[in-house]
Amino acid sequence: MERKNVKLAMAMACLVVFGLANKRCSCTVVQFIFGDSLSDAGNNNYLTKSLARAALPWYGIDFGSGLPNGRFCNGRTVADIVGDKMGLPRPPAFLDPSLDEDMILQSGVNYASGGGGILNETSSLFIQRFSLYKQIELFQGTQELIRMKIGDEAAGEFFREARYVVAMGSNDFINNYLLPLYTDSWTYNGETFVNYLISTLDAQLRLTFFGLGPMGCIPLQRFMTSSGGCQQSTNKLAMAFNKQATQLIEKLSSSLPNATFKFGDAYDFFQELIDRPSMYGFNNSAGPCCSLGRIRPTLTCTPLSTLCKDRSKYVFWDEYHPTDRANELIANEIVRKLGYKTINGTEATNGTQPTNGTDSTNGTD
């Protein structure tokens, strides 16, 4: 009963966001981002008990000052780049101490959290993280805050004109179903677990959704095979999830005609980056740029890690996450497929240009 009530509350919140708009909002169009470590812009760095934090060098080395900023990457995330291409401001992390109503109205909010999943139980080993349920709950609080600031009518227009992005689901496999420590791993088989995820997502999703990539080809999954190749069984789970998520998006589009739903599927393109890296200027698509030499897997990048000489030549930054350059190519493919145009006038750079330099501190081949 409790879960049904939560689902109903979420559905009601989303209907408020996507009600019929009678006129365009005169304010800046912003975005609200929901996701995991692929989109986290610093939330987990404020979760002091979390075991999933990008708070140490060399994270952020190609972003702004080069210091860790909470992104699980050397530079920008896909969400950063897609938003920039659309001319949208980069939303600050929800837990950023400087976040206030004015900042929300100017830039939106990023609720993404490293380790977050569609299911509440996902990544519980990380102690602290925001699941999608929690992120939607935080968004509901944001709605109330803005209504108190500018009134119901203006807030309704603001949220209707905003853009919403969800990039989540890989942790539900990598840090739940595929780990025997979790009950879901023996409660479900591959097909029934995907069905469970999609039915849960159905109650949550009224947003733009980025599909899953070839999870079986991340360095951590490759390391667990005897050949060093991709885990095809894991990739099949990602493809099954993407197929059903596409069907869900089509169903939502027909049931809520006043909302626009898009599915950003870059699976095939990402797989091509991995299978034929030289075509896109990479020379390594199997191992991480940031590692502890021959010690594998190191899971995260640490100050003790050594870096590859040229970060733009590697598809993966650490055992889980793509590099800035790979993210840029993936984002470009999503923008191309979805036909996105700039919204606020010009493509945004937000004062940050990636360096991806070859003069890496501690660099190795």
Find tokens 């990539």 and name the residue. 213
d(CA 337, CA 273): 17
173, burial (CB in 10 Å: exposed 0-12, middle 13-18, buried 19+)? buried
Strand partners, 163: 31
Which 3 state secondary structure label does DSSP give 36? Answer: coil
Tell me which of 37, 50, 107, 305 is the catalytic residue.
Answer: 37
Before 297, cis peptide (omega within 30)? yes
Count of positions (residues) in the chain: 365
Are residues 166 and 116 in contact, defined by beta-carbon separation less than 8 angstroms? no
* H/E stretch holding 291: strand 290-291
Nearest CA-CA partner of 89 in 284, 334, 351: 351
**Nearest to residue 340, comparing CAs of 219, 131, 163, 121?**
163
Known catalytic residue at 26: no
CB 67 within 8 A of CB 350: no
- Tokens 């800046």 found at: 28
Task: Identify the residue whose tokens are 């899971």.
Answer: 299
Q: Which of 84, 113, 123, 321 is catalytic?
A: 321
Write down the residue that tokens 């600031």 correspond to.
Answer: 149
- Per the CB < 8 A criterion, the answer to whether 307 and 290 are in contact is yes
Q: Which residue has the tokens 């299911």?
A: 119
Q: For this structure, is 37 an active site residue?
A: yes
Amino acid identity for residue 357 in this structure:
G
**Among residues 80, 172, 184, 318, which one is catalytic?**
318
**What is the amino acid identity at position 285?**
S
Q: Give residue 227's identity as a one-letter amino acid code.
A: S
Coil, helix or strand for 326? helix
CB 23 within 8 Å of CB 261: no
- For helices 2-17 and 132-150, give the axis angle rounded to 10 degrees: 50
Q: Which two tokens stand for residue 90?
A: 């980069």
Name, in order, each residue with C-beta under 8 angstroms of 135's C-beta and a sequence gap of 6 or more. Answer: 34, 111, 112, 113, 116
Residues with a known catalytic role:
37, 318, 321
